[in-house]
Structure 1
Amino acid sequence: MSGFDGGNPYGANYSTGGGFMAGGEDSPSTKKSGSNSLRPVTIRQILNAQQPAAEGDFTIDGVQLGQLTFVGVVRNVSSFPTNVSYSVEDGTGSIDVRQWLDGNADETGKTDGITQNRYIRVLGTIKAFQNKVSISAGHIRPITDFDEVMFHKLEAINTHLQLLNGAGASTGAPRAATGGAEQKFSHIEDPLQRKVMESIASLADAHEGSGVPIVTVARRIAGYKEQDVRTAVENLVTEGYLFTAEDDEHVLPS
């Protein structure tokens, strides 16, 4: 695929190391530590990562994180003598990314092509300071082919599903909804909003990267017009139950 370095979407010097994708040496059913693997993720997954012990490794889907990679759009750039800080968002959330320079000036070309409103790929590790999560980047490069963005979203979803359900989950089929969904949203008084939340929650895992299409939700809820469902979604976004993902037509639970 054009835009990838030598056919490797992570760059010439990086690989997943037999990580989580089907065909790797380690299967998700047996591998519980990803410290030696490169994990494709969304920013929302990073923000929701767990740190079971202070100063310990972060985990996503119960798997320890080492190096991770994600793609997103640079929304702000702040330059300092020893580092550059980027605000990056991918439709699921935004996060600060810091890249350290080798000297007072960037003589190695680390920041070449990394500009505002440009898609980039980031490789790095999670850092936490005063309860705020950020990324310490070991490598950043601009993306020249938008297909790489879509590839990454699919890879992040596939990895997430494999780790949750085992290697057979690579089909992308959503998990069966677990019991208690009705009780989880029973505090929402409006019956349509409650149905919308239940439907989106049941589809969220299969649409981790891009978000659940509103039109899909409308088709699943019988007895209501699509506009009524859209109004319910807008109200749920306003109230903080949902947030827009890839665009205004796709949403995910907060």
Structure 2
Amino acid sequence: MFGGGGFGGDAGNQFAGGGFMPSQAPAQDGYGGGSGGGRAGSSKQTLRTLTIRQLAKAANGHDDVLRADNSEITNVTVIGKILSVRDANMTLTLTITDGTGTVDVDHFLSDSDDGQVAAQKKAEWSPGVYVRVFGHARCGNDQVLRITGFNVRTITDFNEVTYYFLRCIFEHVHLTKGGAAGQGMGGAAAGGMAMGGAPAAGGWQGGGAPQQATAFAGAAAGNGMDPCSNAVLQIIQGSNSEAGCHVQEIYSKLAGQFGQHAIDNALHSLTSEAHLYTTTDDNHYRAA
């Protein structure tokens, strides 16, 4: 399926030229990119999983707001194969394709990236490599779609590529067709995992104390997650910090319930499945 260094064969035929036509159906409350009724909901930070073709269609509006499935887009995650890399001072520009289109991703090397880290990124991100990008999609004055990638990582398990397309389909259908809370993707909405929504009742509440391990286990049974992943996710959802929730805060709040190794594994799993993303560094997390 992934032979020849490209999407080749089945994957290319299945998804090339595809994408999803945005529907005029209203978005469901508590999920996806906020309200479709103007800029009133633009302050709500969301993370949408979109194909590049969907992004291109979202950028075809008459204002500077990107919308897909009648929902405003803030942050996005995409997966693609690197076609080319341009290195300009402290910026790496990756041109990637997911089989539905191409887009340029600008990744800024921060001052905290020492020479070794920057050199590793440049060596690792070469044409033919698959990457997952978390970033902010925008159209400049030239109306060219670009993504500012605040987190870019190499794909090592190609099951993640399949999951990416399935997630695109799920989010599109959920926003255009709707669905009762708790249906689909392991009951995500009922478990407090609704994208851009508030934590579920009975889970972690911002500013409050974490529930006991039994409460986390009960919530996990409703959304298909293991208790540790569910506890970590609810804590991060309850964080009010603009920089995100620091990993040390998670360790502290779950001390005596889960070990640091289990929490680290949960953070890795949740990030890989696009439930979380890192912000200012690899130790600060926000919920999608």
TM-score by length of 2: 0.45
Question: CA offsets, 1:58-116, max 9 Å, x none?
Answer: 11111011110010000100111120111100000001111111249754736262221
Counterpart-to-counterpart distance in 1, 2:33 and 2:93 = 37
Q: Gapped runs of 5+ residues in structure 1?
A: 1-23, 172-254
Question: How far has the Cα of 1:119 moved from its partner?
Answer: 0.6
Q: What is the RMSD of the two structures over their aligned residues, measured on CA atoms?
A: 3.1
1:119 matched to 2:130? The reply is yes
Question: How far has the Cα of 1:25 moved from its partner?
Answer: 8.9
Q: Find the partner of 2:51 among 37, 42, 46.
A: 42
Contact 1:66–1:125 (CA under 8 A) maintained in structure 2? yes
Which structure shows the bigger proportion of residues in helix conformation? 2
Question: What corresponds to 1:141 in structure 2?
Answer: 153
Contact 1:29–1:166 (CA under 8 A) maintained in structure 2? no
TM superposition outliers: structure 1 runs of 4+ over 6 Å: none
Question: How far has the Cα of 1:31 moved from its partner?
Answer: 5.3
1:160 matched to 2:182? The reply is no
Counterpart-to-counterpart distance in 2, 1:121 and 1:29 = 20
**How many residue pairs align between the two structures?**
147
Question: What corresponds to 1:229 in structure 2?
Answer: none
TM-score by length of 1: 0.51
Q: Gapped runs of 5+ residues in structure 2?
A: 1-27, 186-288
Q: Secondary structure at the match of 1:125?
A: strand
Counterpart-to-counterpart distance in 2, 1:81 and 1:127 = 22
Q: Which amino acid aligns with 1:114?
A: W
Question: How far has the Cα of 1:26 moved from its partner?
Answer: 2.0
Question: What corresponds to 2:65 in structure 1?
Answer: 57
Contact 1:37–1:66 (CA under 8 A) maintained in structure 2? yes
Counterpart-to-counterpart distance in 2, 1:163 and 1:39 = 11
Q: Secondary structure at the match of 1:109?
A: helix
Question: CA offsets, 1:196-231, max 9 Å, x none?
Answer: xxxxxxxxxxxxxxxxxxxxxxxxxxxxxxxxxxxx
Counterpart-to-counterpart distance in 2, 1:101 and 1:66 = 22
Question: How far has the Cα of 1:141 moved from its partner?
Answer: 0.2
Q: Secondary structure at the match of 2:45?
A: strand
Contact 2:33–2:71 (CA under 8 A) maintained in structure 1? no
Q: Find the partner of 2:102 among 86, 94, 116.
A: 94
Question: CA offsets, 1:17-38, max 9 Å, x none?
Answer: xxxxxxx992469854574221
Change (3 A) 1:68 1:118: same
Q: Secondary structure at the match of 2:46?
A: strand
Q: Secondary structure at the match of 1:36?
A: coil
Question: How far has the Cα of 1:128 moved from its partner?
Answer: 1.4
Q: Which amino acid aligns with 2:89?
A: P
1:72 matched to 2:64? The reply is no
Q: Which amino acid aligns with 1:62?
A: N
- Taking only the aligned residue pairs, the percentage that are identical comes to 24
Counterpart-to-counterpart distance in 1, 2:33 and 2:144 = 31
